[in-house]
Amino acid sequence: MKTKLLSALLTVALLALVGCAAISGPTPEAAKLRLKVEVNMDADGEVALKFGAHNVGPADFPGDEDFVGKWELINEAGDLRASGTLTIMGFVEAGETTFPVKWEGELVPGAYTLTWGAPGYGLTVVRFTVVEHNGRLSIGEQTTQTFDDYELPATPDEGEKVYPLAIGPGEWLEYEIVSASNFQLLPNVAVQPGDRVRFEVVGSGTSKKMGLDMTTAVSFETPLCDVYLNGEKVGEQVGEEGTIAINVVYPVEEAFWRDYQAVEDNWNQTTAAQGLPYHGEIRFESDVVVIEFGYTESAVVQVQGKNGPVNVPIERGVIQATVDRETGVVLEQTRDAGGSQASYHIVLVDSSIIGARLP
């Protein structure tokens, strides 16, 4: 849900990704490889990611059948948007670069952090933004950091709890756009005040909200929806992989909200240690739940860029969502942001769900 810049993610998330436990050092062959990532935007407005390695030489790299590489794409909210693994690294000629893993997909405008690492080969972290200008998407700023050490994140238990939704296929929700500035509901789908947006639930997927320690997390079911703007269909089965800028339904179990608060607590603690003005909380108010999070004022984080330190600005941006406690339906949501970030205010005006209380 957090839809704009949380630049501190690049700095503080590394606390979890750069291993503290002892791991085996690089082999002589591995020491010749440097993990590489490329981020581009194709002609169709889809983000194209490539993962691989560059052999700095002087000898050829013979390959490694025990290679275990993992990549993750995380948005500024800590939501895991895509991930993958590579379990073998093939032959790489001296001086050459290979990209055995590729991913393409639509991402809404915002800030993202990409990690690509393998034990014994190090870690590469790329922070980038997707920006919209004159109706076209492009890749904005990019910063890259590399680290010599990396350990694989702990694998979740097979029985990991995924909190279910209280609604299912056939239900629908309709919202009015009260205000909007620099806001795209979907990639290349801008909205303006007075527009009506209808979400028709056709299925479900799963989402994971991550803490900045990359360990604290809460997994939950999310709706897949056909989306209509003023009666015209603008998206099908939308809801995962960064293809929607807002979430309209949450689980209703109190345990879910406690776990969600634990994730926000991790964000609060980690950003506070960095001196960053972030605040996130979950509040129970009568028959609704209020979610509020974001950077309460602008700040600057310094990260190591390719040619030295780079100052990365964090613009103010706070989201507040009012959720019906009984049904999990978002009744109202606002995003108050500064600079060029998206701001909006949406209100539920109609619904098929009995019990969803209109604000």
- Over residues 183-201, the pLDDT tens digits come to 888 877 889 999 999 999 9
Between the alpha carbon of residue 238 and those of residues 2, 11, 14, 65, 108, the distances in Å are 17, 31, 30, 38, 12
Domain that holds residue 169: 162-351
- Tell me the C-alpha to C-alpha distance, in Å, between residue 61 and each of 26, 210, 236: 13, 36, 45
Instruction: Band the pLDDT of 3: cuts 50, 70, 90.
Output: very low
Asked if residue 356 is part of any domain, the answer here is no
User: What proportion of the chain, given as a percentage, has pLDDT over 90?
Assistant: 33
137 lies in the same domain as 233: no
Is residue 1 included in any domain, yes or no? no
Q: What is the pLDDT of residue 312?
A: 67
Per-residue pLDDT, 6: 36
Percent of the chain with pLDDT over 70: 82
238-248: average pLDDT: 67
Q: Which residue has the higher pLDDT, 101 or 57?
A: 101
Element (H, E) at 111: strand 110-118
Q: How far is CA 309 from CA 2, 143, 258, 301, 317, in A?
A: 27, 10, 38, 10, 25
Mean pLDDT of 321-343: 89
Residue range 349-354: average pLDDT? 93
Whether 212 has a pLDDT exceeding 70, the answer reads yes
Structural domain contains residue 152: no
Domain assignment present for 57: yes
Domain count for the chain: 2
The whole-number pLDDT of residue 144 equals 87
- For residues 332 and 2, which has the higher predicted lDDT (pLDDT)? 332
**Residue type for 102, please?**
K
Give the max Cα distance, the chain: 69
